[in-house]
Chain A
Amino acid sequence: MGTPGDIRQEGFNDGVRALAPLLLAVIPFGLVLGVTAASTAVGGLLGIGTSPIIFAGAAQLVTVQLLDTDTSIAVVIVTALVVNVRHLMYSATMAPHFSEWPRRSRFLLPYLLTDQAFALSILRYETTNDPAYKRWFFIGAGMGLWLPWQLSTIAGVVLGAKIPDSLGLGFAIPLVFLVLLIPVVQTRPGLVAAIVGGVVAVAAAEAPYGLGLVIGALVGVAAGVWAERLGQP
């Protein structure tokens, strides 16, 4: 057994290393976010600001996209929070592990609880029991994502200021979501949720206050639950 310091260093390094391959997907995502923010009414500064303040890519893209339309501010907030409600699930799953950590960590580290840090940590925790290792692995994965995310958003804003609108780069947003969509529609109820969510959002496109996305998402969730119950004997 190593000293406590060694365990921490090892955990941190392993977390950073586990996250590194995912950066291939994260960096273009951050660039798209920055480019879009810079070329719309949102502006580069606020675009960059969303990365440390929200630190959740999908919600940030949706926020930037909606702030550029005439969607009311309240609906922008509700929509982004609906996109982020999945974090409740991560929080519940991580809670037993976090409970072994110092109090300050329990309140500070949830800030780093992204899709990626969650998925990597929960996988690694199946094979280790050391609370210090687990904590530093999470910090490594979390920070390993945080810094490149901030930098790629800034790089996107710098690039975006130079790209003409005629290139139609706003289309990159649905393209990013298309890639994120593939793994979550591999089950039949997941596919039902996505299709119904999409079709209802199209049908509700004229809904007041820009509520179309939220309405589509809620009906899609209900359809997914229903499809899963039908599938169970």
Chain B
Amino acid sequence: MMWVAVVIIGIGTYLTRLSFIGAFGEREMPAWMEQPLRFVAPAVMGAIVLPAVVQSDGALALLPSVNPRFLAAVIAAAVAYKWRNVSLVIAVGMGSLWILDWLF
């Protein structure tokens, strides 16, 4: 089942990439489509990141004693804002998580 899902996602991804190049005959993208598409990236990323860092076992948890991931994410966000270096952010974020885990 998991393989089927991945293959369907792969085909769907290829078709969105092909869309205007192949099938739609190079028509220009209508404005009603273009505007929302510009906000897909921030909306999706926000929807991935926030639940992953503010919840613990399905409940809202911000205290480092219950959910050290929130504070670790805040520290990592500051680093990401300043440097935008993936390796650095992963190192700082994971390091913060382990230290907070050990402290509390």
Contact = CB atoms under 8 A, between A and B. Distances in A.
Interface of A: 24-25, 28-29, 32, 42, 46, 49-50, 53-56, 58-59, 62-63, 67, 73, 76-77, 80-92, 94-96, 98-99, 106-107, 110-111, 113, 167-169, 171-185, 189-191, 193-202, 205-206, 212-214, 216-225, 228
A92 B14 CA distance: 14
A212 B80 contact: no
Nearest to B59: A205
Interface residues of B, number: 67
A86 B37 contact: yes
Q: Counting chain A CB atoms within 10 Å of each CB, which of B3, B6, B37 scores highest?
A: B6
B49 A174 contact: yes
B70 to A, nearest CB: 11
B43 A196 contact: yes
Contacts of A221: 36, 39-40, 43
A91 B84 contact: no
Contact of A90 (B1, B17, B45, B49): B17
B2 interface: yes
Contacts of A59: 9, 13
Q: Is the interface of B mostly helix, strand, loop or mixed?
A: helix
B39 A53 contact: no
Nearest to B54: A202
16 contacts: A53-B7, A54-B9, A58-B45, A67-B2, A88-B19, A171-B93, A174-B69, A175-B93, A190-B42, A201-B50, A205-B58, A216-B43, A221-B43, A224-B36, A224-B43, A225-B36
Q: Which 7 A-B pairs have the closest CB atoms?
A: A220-B43, A198-B50, A224-B39, A216-B47, A194-B46, A198-B46, A197-B46
B104 interface: no
B44 to A, nearest CB: 5
Interface in B49-104: 49-55, 58, 60, 69, 72-73, 76-77, 80-81, 84-87, 89-90, 93-94, 97-98, 101
